[in-house]
Amino acid sequence: MATKSQHSAAYRSVPPFLRTLRENAGLTQRDLGKRLKKPQSWIFNCESGNRRVDVAEFIAWVRGCGVDPGEAFSRFVKLVVS
């Protein structure tokens, strides 16, 4: 049986990283959802790994948290390579 890509070992560190970005920005799931024009449940599903976040969504997410996308990606790479 195939594993959904959002449940792969390689993707496992993405949801907590996204949550940390949001929390460090002082935003609730509802706050970030409003900024991204998405419901709170969408934010929850991304942070819990029920929904895979693509690159364009990652960029919107980090911008919504007030972080430069290049900086966020660099931090993420350092996190997963360490």
Identity (one letter) of the amino acid at 69?
P
- Report helix, strand and coil shares of the chain as percent, to nearest 5: 65, 0, 35
For 58-79, the pLDDT digits (tens) are: 999 999 999 999 999 999 999 8
**Within 10 A of 63 (CB to CB), how many other CB atoms are there?**
14
Cα–Cα nearest to 75, from 11, 14, 2: 14
Q: How far is CA 1 from the centre of its chain?
A: 27
In which residue ranges of the chain is pLDDT below 70? Answer: 1-7
**How far separated are the first and last CA of the chain, in Å rounded?**
31
| Domains within the chain, CATH numbers bracketed | 12-81 (1.10.260.40)
Report which DSSP code applies to 2.
P
The pLDDT score that the predictor gives to residue 7 is: 62
